[in-house]
Amino acid sequence: LKMVTKRNKKIKLTVGEQIGRAVIVLLLIAMCVAVIYPFMNMIAISLSDKYAIDRREVTISPVDFTARAYGMVAQNKYLWLAYGNTLFGCVIGTVLGVVLTAFAAYPMVFNNFGWNKVYSVFIPITMWFSAGSIPSFIVVNKLGLFDNHWALILTGLLSAFDIIVMRSFFAGVSKSIVEAAQIDGANDMLTLFVVVLPMSKAVIATIALWNFIAQWNSYMGPLLYIRTKEKYTLQLLLQEIVLNSALSDFSLGDNPQLISQEQVKNAILVFSILPTLIIYPFIQKYFSKGVTIGAVKG
């Protein structure tokens, strides 16, 4: 170990390598600034005084701090309805999505049924070919799910990529343990839930997080299938407020001159992304791990 350490200390980077690393660092810094600055500006505007915003004095820190916009936003019923609708879809969609993904991946690894090869080829094909928005809308409408949250949940339950990731992880599970359980009389359902899934917590956490974030950020589905305002999801409500300037539901109070629409808009945006901003630092490692799950295994 000492010899390896001494050898590594003697290694010197060439001028070209040093320049390359410096360029990479500068690019990463520029990307961080490009991503972080809009968030900081949005938060600063939501917490600044109306007159400071009108004078274009706000950059990345609040000017004449005030939280009036957040108090106003918190009193709006449509925002809380949208929060509830979004959380309902996220929780139900995540649970069902993980279970159905496991159902789809399990037979590709542990069952040697006759159509296994065809089944294994058919799933990746859906990653390149899909019916599109219009056929999906027609199917949802014919099933009577239009303007129903179940349309959002059911249309986003399964992903071919998630199935492939879970299948790759299942391939690393010892088949001798599965065979032992089946010899003891366990059927496929019992084997999956009692043997395989308890040994696959990492991939379950990864797929669950992917499903949750996808449902939380879903925009096209609500735009196509939801019409009643009380059933709006958070993303649809934000679209109406930010793009269409629909602030009629947000009373500016007895002194509207003390607060501006820009404050309200940015406060709503911060309010909507706050859960993900709080949660993401704790789940980032699962996102990173999920990308490499099954990368080495078959």
Give the model confidence (pLDDT) of 97-122 as tens digits.
999 999 988 888 887 666 777 777 88
% pLDDT > 90, the chain: 7
- So what's the pLDDT on residue 297? 47
pLDDT at position 298 is 42
Could you report the per-residue pLDDT of 260-279, keeping only the tens digit for each?
Answer: 777 888 888 888 887 777 77
- Residue-averaged pLDDT of the chain: 80
Arithmetic mean of pLDDT, 77-85: 86
Question: What are 162-176's pLDDT values in tens digits?
Answer: 888 888 888 888 888
Residues 192-241 pLDDT 10s: 888 888 888 888 888 888 888 888 888 888 888 888 888 888 888 888 77
Cα dihedral 237→241→242→247 (10° resolution): -160
| Separation of alpha carbons 235 and 209, rounded Å | 18
Mean pLDDT computed over 24-35: 91
Q: What single string gives the DSSP state of each residue in the chain?
A: -HHHHHHHHH----HHHHHHHHHHHHHHHHHHHHHHHHHHHHHHHHTS-HHHHHTT--SSS-SS---HHHHHHHT-HHHHHHHHHHHHHHHHHHHHHHHHHHHHHHHHHH---TTHHHHHHHHHHTTT----HHHHHHHHHHTT-TT-HHHHHHHTS--HHHHHHHHHHHTTS-HHHHHHHHHTT--HHHIIIIIIGGG-HHHHHHHHHHHHHHHHT--HHHHHH---GGG--HHHHHHHHHTT---TTS---S-GGG--HHHHHHHHHHHHHHHHHHHHHHHHHHHHHHHHTTSS--
Residue 247 has pLDDT above 60, yes or no: no
Tell me the average pLDDT across 63-73: 81
Max Cα distance, the chain (Å): 76
